[in-house]
């Protein structure tokens, strides 16, 4: 009896050795539907990493540009000279916000719309509205593809689970067709199933972590822009009062 069990185990091991359980082999031997799920998850993972690197580099550049512009803005120089310097070539959201507010201010000043109290109040509202719209437009551009990160982070595990269920179903089908429950029969299908689960987590975890990180960073940057807009509007309001 012991020798029979040993022989059976050796036979099962010899059969299992014919199955290559490498990643490439698992993909090539997978069911067509499982292949589609794996390709979808792999593509999503690559795209997520591209977005992650782009967002990280862009946020670093934006914060550096904002710090540089704030240094110029608070250096005590003339707002008009600063506008002439950066207004027509605004390369970051903060300078674009400043340029939008100054453009509206200059347009009203050139037309003499700062003489009466009603016109000054209307100008103040227009300047604030223009800067708010500019901030919204700039933030919408910066936040592009954030929805994709959130979608991958929430759905990739379920896609991997779907591939897992399908692979296990294939394993049971193999058992039913061969009437053999040895590990050599079920191992390839189970390995395919677990590979789909692993790839789903590989795609989802970085996407979810990056989404949370970038959401916080973008929120802080948006607050920085709004704080600048409020301070700039207050400066323009003082200029209007001085002209009264």
Rounded to the nearest 10 degrees, the angle between the axes of helix 79-86 and helix 93-110 is 120
CB–CB of 126/103 below 8 Å?
A: no
**CA proximity to 167, closest of 150, 143, 191:** 191
Q: What is the DSSP letter of 145?
A: T
**Helices and strands (DSSP H and E) totals, the chain:** 8, 0
Predicted confidence (pLDDT) per residue in 172-217, tens digit: 776 777 666 666 666 666 777 788 888 999 999 999 999 999 999 9
**Terminal Cα-to-Cα distance of the chain (whole angstroms):** 108
Do residues 195 and 23 make contact, with C-beta atoms less than 8 angstroms apart?
yes
Does the structure show a pLDDT above 80 at 7?
no
* Closest CA relative to residue 234, chosen from 107, 73, 75, 87: 73
- pLDDT for res 196: 85
pLDDT score recorded for residue 15: 42
8: Cβ–Cβ under 8 A, 6 or more apart, which residues?
none
Summarised one tens digit per residue, pLDDT across range 214-239 is 999 999 999 999 999 999 988 888 87
Tokens standing for residue 118: 């009603």
Whole-number average pLDDT of the chain: 82
**What's the Cα-to-Cα distance from 86 to each of 59, 95, 208, rounded to whole Å?**
20, 7, 37
Q: Which of 40, 92, 31 is nearest to 63 (CA)?
A: 92
Task: For 143, list phi and psi in degrees, rounded to 5.
Answer: -85, 5
Q: For position 169, what pLDDT does the model report?
A: 80
- Backbone φ and ψ for 22, nearest 5 degrees, come out as -70, 165
Q: What was the pLDDT predicted at 206?
A: 95
Average of per-residue pLDDT across 90-115: 82
Q: Residue 27 pLDDT > 50, yes or no?
A: yes
Is 203 within 8 Å of 72 (Cβ atoms)? no
């Amino acid at each position: 009896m012991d020798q029979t069990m040993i022989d059976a185990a050796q036979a099962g091991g010899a059969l299992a050795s014919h199955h290559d359980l490498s990643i490439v082999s698992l993909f090539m031997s997978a069911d067509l539907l499982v292949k589609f799920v794996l390709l979808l998850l792999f593509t999503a993972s690559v795209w997520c990493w591209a977005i992650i690197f782009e967002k990280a580099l862009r946020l670093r550049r934006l914060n550096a540009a904002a710090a540089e512009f704030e240094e110029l803005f608070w250096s005590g120089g003339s707002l008009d000279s600063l506008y002439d310097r950066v207004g027509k070539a605004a390369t970051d959201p903060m300078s674009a916000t400043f340029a939008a507010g100054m453009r509206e201010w200059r347009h009203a000043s050139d037309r003499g719309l700062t003489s009466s109290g009603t016109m000054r109040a209307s100008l103040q509202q227009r300047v604030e509205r223009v800067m708010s719209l500019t901030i919204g437009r700039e933030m919408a551009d910066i936040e592009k593809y954030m929805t994709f990160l959130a979608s991958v982070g929430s759905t990739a595990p379920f896609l991997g689970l779907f591939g897992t269920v399908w692979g296990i179903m294939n394993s049971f089908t193999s058992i039913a067709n061969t009437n053999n429950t040895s590990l050599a029969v079920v191992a390839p299908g189970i390995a395919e199933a677990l590979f789909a689960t692993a790839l789903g987590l590989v795609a989802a975890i970085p996407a979810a972590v990056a989404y949370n990180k970038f959401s916080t960073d973008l929120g802080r940057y948006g607050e920085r822009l709004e704080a600048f807009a409020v301070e700039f509007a207050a400066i323009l309001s003082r200029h209007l009062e001085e002209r009264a």
